[in-house]
Amino acid sequence: MYPLALALLAWVLSCSASPDTPSLQAVSPERTAFGTPERLLLSGAFAPDVAVDLGSETPPSLENRFEVRIGTERAYAVRFRSRDALEATAPATLPPGRHDVTVTDAQGRSSTLSGAFEVIDRGVHRLVFVTSMRAARPGEWTEPIRIELRDPSGQPAPTATPRVLRITSDSETGHFTRLGQEDEAGRELEVTLAPGESGVDVLYRDTTSGYHTMESSCHDLPSIAQTVAVGRLGPPTAVRFTRVPTSPLVAGEPVALTVDVLDSSGGPASLPATGIQLTLRTSSSAGGLAVSEGDPYHPDLTLVLQGAQGRLPLLYKDTRSGAEVWLSASGFNRDTYGALTPHSVSLAVQPGTTQRFEVLRTGTGPLQAGVPERFILTSLDAWNNRTPYTGAVRLDTSPPDPGFSPGEVELEVGMASFNAEFSRVQRVSVVAEDPHTPNVRGATPELTIQAGLPTLLAVSPVVGPQLAGKAFLLTLEALDRFGNRVETPLSVTLSASGVPEGALSPTTSGTFTGAITFPVTLTAAVEETRISLVEGTATIPGALRATTGGFAVLPGATQRFVVEDTTGAQTAGVPFRVRIRAVDTYGNTTRDVHELELDAQGVHAHQFAPAHFSGFQGQADVDVTVLLALSSTRLSVVSGTAKGQQPGTFAVNPGPVARYQAQVPPCITSSDRWKLGLQAVDNWNNAVTSYSGAARLALSPFGTISPSATPAFTGGTLTLPNVTWSDVAGREPQSCLELIVTDSADARKTVRQCLNLQLSCPKHQ
């Protein structure tokens, strides 16, 4: 029986359909950063193989043999999760870019998803020393020093291409090696970082005591440096400037200094846990010290050195030249409270290169054409230190003056004086230029060359129409008989024809010399006006006058509506007239066309007319009707964002009595005594409090009411507390037995009110 079953199984397997070709449909996640292995989920259709051992009683099994390739590299840790999902790990060595993902089954059949996985290169931004400053005794290796590549965010950045790191020391006896390769030490170390690597650990050894600087560089990245302390590392006893420039400093250019904390042997000291407080000072008020290039410079700098930080690199910058500038360093042991031996050094600061010339006039009086004026010329660096410039300097004016002299002057050790003459009436600057370096120049402030007496006022034309409230520019010139702008101080009074007082601004130009351009504003709209300008004041005018041509001033856009007050009380339902104007900011009646929305304060829309006014332009008298009587209201107007409201309020009195409003119980029996309330109202149900008449009472279609006549109303109202009726018993129920109330003097003033006659009524109704 067993061979027969085995043969049957073999026949079934041989006749069954072959497994489907794998189908890859999606990869998640779709991207990762370079140098990072990423676990991927592959979605699609993946049919496993059926394995049968014909010579064994072992039941058939599923073999999940799939290979995943990303680009040209093979993924690892491939795991079959289900027929529609695989897992695989993308290798960290995948190069940046988009890669095809291919799944291949045990039969060699494959499915490829193009560009399904992307490796992103975050980019290498800089080199950094990850570890702090190291220290070691002479001849001994330091602890590992970590150097890493970092991306712009400061995170480790595996390199996408091989990178060579070069590591050197400023010590002739210093040696480097990679961690774990101490037998291969050398004075210089070159390390090649393979793709996917982000850093290296190195060791440093030196037989010479002192602070040594090691530097790491890569061809396309800024170099970095770190200090290593080598010595017996005794207690700190002194501070010393160990790196001081031997040549004079250049003003404004920072120079590197180094301050070391030393032990009694002169070598690096072991700093206490609480640190050494270091104080640095400069004697120059224009000098400053900074720890790093981006820090501000301070004449006094105090900081604490801790750990292995026994050497402090500094920058010193001074902007004032001088033969001797002193720098001092003092230290304080924060553990023993003892002072360390201080140290001072002197530096010389020389001026920088000539950056500009200073041209100064020695006189203070007015300049006149043809009269020589004395000037002093000095060459300066960027920090106003006098430079030793010697040679010719070209002189000119700006704007040009064809008669200016001299055209050149000789400087000796950065200084010269000269007499200059001018021929053109203008505002000029005397300009000095280096003939060999055009960017090196200097100029005086503007100088005024005076002209003759003023004989003419000239005013610029005004192009109309102008807009009310919008400033336009006027240019006014005071000229001599040659057309030169004079330098005599003048003041001009302005006026505008046909414009009310206060609508022109300004009314005076203020004192000016030569020419002035100033804004003029007219706030009144007029068909035509002219601006007149008169020298002096309105009460004491001068001889110089000018007038613009005529121009119009148009109103501006509508800003609000002016709604004139309604005088006296009005009567409900009786039209009254209200004047409405659309005005600009300055109260000019505008020309805009509006669709107005009108209302009255405290009045519902159905009790007010008109609610709309179409085609409104400028000004209109509107007949308004208010149907609600009230003690105080005012009219409002709106069109878009423009609004208007009457400044005052007015009362609306009720109209004449038209009828009554009755108040009766909701249910009455034939034997009840009940209360009747009456209110005299006009056609719009406004209470007429002035009404003092009387009314007749009757029932319809049957019954008699008592009383059948009322006393006089008080304040337009009347309450009858004990009303009875007769001839109604036995006719219940009657939901609308009419009560007829009629004015005793005018039968037209009447009202009919339904009374609810019932056999019984609810209590406490």
How far is residue 602's CA from residue 651's CA, in Å, rounded to a whole number?
12
Instruction: State how far the Cα of 189 lies from the Cα of 177, in Å rounded to an integer.
Output: 7
Single out the residue of 657, 627, 669 nearest to residue 751, CA to CA: 657
Can you list the positions of beta strands (E) in 91-173? 97-104, 110-120, 126-129, 134-136, 145-150, 163-169
In this prediction, residue 454 carries a pLDDT of 83
- CA-closest candidate to residue 546, choices 456, 434, 415: 456
Same domain, 486 and 576: no
Domain boundary among the residues 174, 204, 230 is at 230
Whether residue 375 is found in the same domain as residue 340: no
Q: Which two tokens stand for residue 458?
A: 């000239």
- In a domain? residue 317: yes
Quick one: DSSP state of residue 183? Answer: G
Full residue range of the structural domain in which residue 272 is found = 238-350
Is there a contact between 513 and 492 (Cβ–Cβ < 8 Å)? no
pLDDT tens by residue, 725-753: 999 888 889 999 999 999 999 988 999 99
Instruction: Report yes or no on 9 lying in a domain.
Output: no
Contact criterion met (CB below 8 Å) for 259 and 342? no
Q: What's the pLDDT score for residue 709?
A: 94
Instruction: Kindly indicate the confidence band of residue 267, based on its pLDDT and cuts at 50, 70 and 90.
Output: confident
Collapsed DSSP state (helix, strand, coil) of residue 653: strand
Do 376 and 441 share a domain, yes or no?
yes
| pLDDT of res. 148 | 92
347-364 tens-digit pLDDT: 999 999 999 999 999 998
Task: Report if residue 625 sits inside a domain.
Answer: yes
pLDDT: which is higher, 432 or 198:
432
Query: Average pLDDT of the chain?
Result: 89
Band of residue 369 on the pLDDT scale cut at 50, 70, 90 = confident
Last residue of a domain, one of 618, 653, 688: 653
Q: Is residue 27 part of a domain?
A: yes
- The percent of residues above 70 in pLDDT, for the chain, comes to 95
In a domain, 763, yes or no: no
Report if residue 555 sits inside a domain: no
For residue 14, being part of any structural domain is answered with: no
Q: What is the pLDDT of residues 443-489, one digit of tens each?
A: 999 998 887 678 889 999 999 899 999 999 999 998 876 677 887 89
H/E run at residue 256: strand 255-262
**What is the per-residue pLDDT for 63?**
62
| 500 lies in the same domain as 424 | no
Task: Please tell me the distance from the alpha carbon of residue 459 to that of residue 474, in angstroms, as a whole number.
Answer: 7
User: Which is more confidently placed, 106 or 329?
Assistant: 329
Same domain, 242 and 340: yes
Give the Cα separation of 329 and 241 in Å (integer): 8
CATH number of the domain within which 91 lies: 2.60.40.10
pLDDT band at residue 591 using 50, 70 and 90 as cut-offs? very high
Do 594 and 608 belong to one domain? yes
Percentage of residues in the chain having pLDDT higher than 90:
67
Q: In the chain, how many domains are there? A: 7
Could you tell me if residue 6 is inside a domain? no
Q: What pLDDT, in 10s, does the model give residues 4-39? A: 343 334 433 433 444 578 999 999 998 888 877 889
Q: What is the pLDDT of residue 55?
A: 66
Query: In terms of Cα–Cα distance, which of 141, 190, 201, 186 is closest to 163?
Result: 190
Same domain, 543 and 575: no
The pair phi, psi for residue 6, each rounded to 5°, is -65, -40
Is 231's pLDDT higher than 90?
Answer: no
Name the residue among 460, 487, 457 with its Cα closest to residue 473.
460
Nearest-5° angle of CA 138, CA 139, CA 140?
95
Assess whether pLDDT exceeds 80 at residue 209.
Answer: yes
Burial class (CB in 10 A: 0-12, 13-18, 19+), 439: exposed
Distances (CA, A) of 54 to 57, 65, 373, 520: 8, 20, 122, 110
Cis peptide before 435 (omega within 30 of 0): no
- CB environment 731-762: b (16+ within 10 A), e (fewer): eeebeebebbbbbeeeeebbbebebbbbeebe
pLDDT, residue 136, reads 85
Tell me 123's DSSP state.
Answer: -
138 and 205 co-located in one domain: yes
- pLDDT at residue 5, as a whole number: 41
Nearest to 345 by CA among 275, 235, 260, 252: 260
Q: Are 598 and 691 contained in the same domain? A: no
- Given 416, 449, 482, the domain boundary residue is 449
CA distances in angstroms from 277 to 333, 344, 425, listed in the order given = 7, 17, 66
- Residue 56: φ, ψ to 5°: -135, 155
